[in-house]
């Protein structure tokens, strides 16, 4: 049996943090329309290789330790190792540095997606914008990967445009969690990076730096209920915008903190999964002293509390809320970015 606190907290999360999903579309009422749709679907699929895949839109989220070596890497696509068609390109030249890049090079009015599957078997699905490079972290570590670019055929059906398999041997195990990527893009967020530098100035201990960033985000951002009710699949935080508006959904909170910390060479994972029954986002950080801290954010004299800046902020850091946050059993990770 769950306690009243657990039930109340789960209900609070569901109400405050869930971003909502669009209603499913109607079905074809006429057999002729269905047949025409299937025929067009088949034609597109055949042109792209003959197979289609169902890809659902992702909900919006919302011992002695080795040293985390700072990175001086800017993601780029040099074209040394590529898988390319007349429609798309996957550049996997920099897998040792913890990332690949993909771009849909042709014009397109339909939805485009990329998927990356790592050695653990977890498949990460991303949206693509025609003509724009996207950076995908190899967050599953060293091992065998497969990357695929898809084009929408109809509904949730997608056809493969191009695909490649490759083996990854990371030179720096922390690289995927230090670099900017599609979900934590601080590469074009000068104000966010400057604020992070200001907040951490003079602090030499990693966890002191983490606490400074955490306290700033929790005390200066408010939860945006209107945005949570209207945000659509495919939404990506723009960090300088979140910083300026001082409000956002759980995805914004977690992405802003992760971007700030990574920009200061602090390895940080943006985690998407479930807090109770609510789809949610939070962060984990690394320090030489502690290793990966997967369930902590600040020290209260007894224990560290879970790194969930949204819940701490929207819950006003009450004793009951912080108790709920501090119990890692309420959190189940699905993806790590």
* Confidence band for 102, pLDDT divided at 50, 70 and 90: very high
> Over the stretch 247-269, which tens digit does the pLDDT of each residue have?
988 888 889 999 999 999 999 99
For 188-208, what is the mean pLDDT?
93
- The CATH number of the structural domain formed by 190-336 is 3.10.620.30
For 3-21, what is the mean pLDDT?
34
For 143-171, what is the mean pLDDT?
95
Closest CA to 213 of 200, 222, 194: 200
| 305 has pLDDT over 50 | no
Report the distance separating Cα 79 and Cα 85, nearest Å: 13
Report the distance separating Cα 10 and Cα 131, nearest Å: 41
Residue 241 or residue 328, greater confidence: 241
Report the distance separating Cα 97 and Cα 168, nearest Å: 9
Angle between helices 250-263 and 190-200 (to 10 degrees): 70
Residue 7 or residue 211, greater confidence: 211
pTM of the entire predicted model: 0.71
Contact between residue 337 and residue 270 where contact means Cβ atoms under 8 Å apart? yes
| CATH 3.30.930.10 given to domain 29-61+72-171 | no
What is the residue extent of each domain of the chain? 29-61+72-171, 190-336
């Amino acid at each position: 049996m769950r306690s009243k606190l657990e039930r109340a907290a789960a209900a609070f999360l569901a109400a405050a943090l869930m971003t909502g999903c669009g209603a499913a579309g109607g079905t074809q009422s006429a057999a002729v329309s269905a047949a025409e749709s299937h025929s067009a679907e088949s034609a597109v699929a055949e042109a792209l290789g003959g197979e289609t895949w169902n890809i659902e839109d992702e909900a919006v989220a919302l011992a002695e330790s080795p040293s985390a070596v700072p990175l001086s890497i800017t993601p780029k696509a040099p074209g040394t190792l590529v898988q390319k068609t007349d429609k798309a390109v996957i550049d996997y030249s920099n897998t040792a540095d913890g990332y690949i890049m993909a771009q849909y090079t042709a014009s397109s009015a339909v939805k485009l997606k990329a998927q990356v599957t790592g050695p653990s078997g977890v498949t990460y699905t991303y949206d693509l914008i025609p003509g724009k490079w996207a950076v995908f972290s190899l967050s599953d570590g060293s091992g065998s990967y497969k990357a695929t670019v898809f084009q929408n055929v109809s509904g949730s059906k997608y056809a493969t445009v191009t695909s490649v398999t490759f083996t990854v041997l990371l030179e720096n195990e922390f690289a995927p969690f230090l670099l900017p990527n599609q979900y934590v893009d601080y590469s074009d967020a000068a104000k966010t990076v400057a604020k992070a530098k200001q907040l951490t100035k003079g602090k030499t201990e990693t966890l002191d730096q983490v606490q400074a960033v955490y306290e700033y985000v929790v005390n200066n951002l408010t939860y945006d209920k209107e945005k949570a009710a209207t945000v659509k699949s495919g939404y990506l935080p723009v960090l300088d915008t979140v910083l300026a508006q001082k409000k956002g959904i759980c995805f914004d909170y977690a992405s802003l903190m992760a971007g700030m910390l990574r920009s200061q060479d602090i390895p940080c994972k943006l985690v998407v999964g479930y807090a109770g029954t609510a789809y949610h986002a939070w962060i984990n950080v690394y320090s030489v002293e502690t290793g990966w801290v997967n369930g902590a954010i600040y020290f209260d004299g007894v224990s560290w509390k879970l790194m969930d800046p949204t819940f701490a902020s929207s819950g006003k850091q009450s004793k009951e809320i912080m108790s709920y946050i501090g119990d890692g059993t309420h959190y189940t990770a699905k993806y790590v970015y």
